[in-house]
Amino acid sequence: MRTTIAAQFPEFGFLHPDDLEYRQDELSVVQKLRLLVIVAVSHRYSESCTADINNKNILFIANEVQKRVTSGPSLALIQTFLILSLCNWGDGDGFNAWMHCGIATRMAQGLLSTGFASCGKRETLSELEKRTLWTCFKMDRLLSCGKRRQAMFSDGDMHFSLPVNDTQFLFGQSPQAAPIDASLRSYGPDDHLVLLIQGLRIWSRVHTWIAEGGRRQPGMTEPEQCPFNETSDWSKMKQDLLKWRGSQDALMKYPATKVSVHAQRGQAERFGYINLVYYVSLLFLCREFIPFSPVDEVKPRGPIEPPLLKARGPDSFWLQNVFDLYDAASQISSLLSDLEHVGCPLRTPFSGLCAFSSTLWSIYGAAFPNFMGFTPSQTSDADSQAERTMAVLYHDEG
């Protein structure tokens, strides 16, 4: 059960093997509800899962935990609401997912202010408490993307340190001393939770900027805000994305490192997730300056629909932007197919968004081959790529 959730939802880093080592008489009612919701989520990935029965079980759990909203927060109750929000999100019930995540977050903020473990600015948080708080932060970012919702956990609230790596967490080891210069730090497979926190923070910024109007926001046509200038918001987000990518060990970068290698270690899904965050963030950044229907365009030259930029920019920038866009779509498609091939498919709302975005821009490439600079062979490949990625989407719906 824990393995299923950890694989499909690596952002839920607070689950520990000890969670399933218990005696019934040692569990409180809330702890039992927490265990039940873990079972309910895991059961969805079982061939014997019956949707109607599982949904009834989730509804029962939701009713029971909601009765305890005003009885006082606890770590187990916060985690139960977080996993429950995951259930809602998977059902396409974004509102209840956001509400349950919000309840968990407000409880966590309450405990943080009054003391998880007499916590002050000089942290005394346990690793489990930190991981729970960071999960609130990540779910808040994921559920708020594109909704123009105010973040419940601002960056300023997260004054405690990042989680230790997985090995240290599993075996209860103390964190190793970090290098004095943080820019020298390289994050590998055991550091997936830190990479996800950093990556989802960037993805949230990108998606929020686009949801608020992107290039159509006031002032975005001014020369200093043109994407080819380093002073622009767009350029700063891309540089942050590339800096995050640069902090990753070579073992974490697809396609240079194969999915099958991580599958041998039981870590294919988390490897896939981190790379999806990178490529979909890059795709969303690049697409903002791609024309909707470049029927008469022979090469990229920036927006052709109002508002138009007040500076033209170099041709090389626009060519690179189109290349990066289609490459990101291609890498997402190949990554999802590779995960399927090794028997480690990602079946989550986030991977569904990535698959849809990849499919859309593969279709775009096939529809406007002259604008993309495609040969007939590349146009055919784009069509095939769209069909392959759509198959992943249809499988997710099934």
105 contacts 153 by C-beta, under 8 angstroms: yes
Closest to 145 (Cα-Cα) out of 188, 86, 230, 204: 204
What's the alpha-carbon Rg for the chain, to the nearest Å?
22
- Residue 181: burial class (beta carbons within 10 Å; 0-12, 13-18, 19+): exposed
Q: Report the C-alpha gap between 380 and 384 in whole angstroms.
A: 6
The reported pLDDT for the residue numbered 181 is 47
2 contacts 20 by C-beta, under 8 angstroms: yes
The reported pLDDT for the residue numbered 387 is 96
325 contacts 288 by C-beta, under 8 angstroms: no
Read off the tokens for 322.
């189109």
Closest to 200 (Cα-Cα) out of 11, 348, 6: 11
The reported pLDDT for the residue numbered 173 is 77
Closest to 348 (Cα-Cα) out of 1, 2, 3, 5: 5
Mean pLDDT by 10 residues, the chain (398 residues): 68 77 78 89 74 83 92 90 92 91 92 61 73 93 80 77 88 64 76 95 94 96 98 98 98 98 95 98 98 93 96 96 98 98 92 96 97 96 96 70
Read off the tokens for 41.
């989520």
The reported pLDDT for the residue numbered 157 is 73
Reduced to 3 states (helix: H, G, I; strand: E, B; else coil), residue 87 is helix
The reported pLDDT for the residue numbered 41 is 85
Helix, strand, coil percent content, the chain, rounded in steps of 5:
65, 0, 35
* Start-to-end Cα distance in the chain: 21
- From start to end of 67-184, where are the E strands? none
Q: Report the C-alpha gap between 243 and 394 in whole angstroms.
A: 34
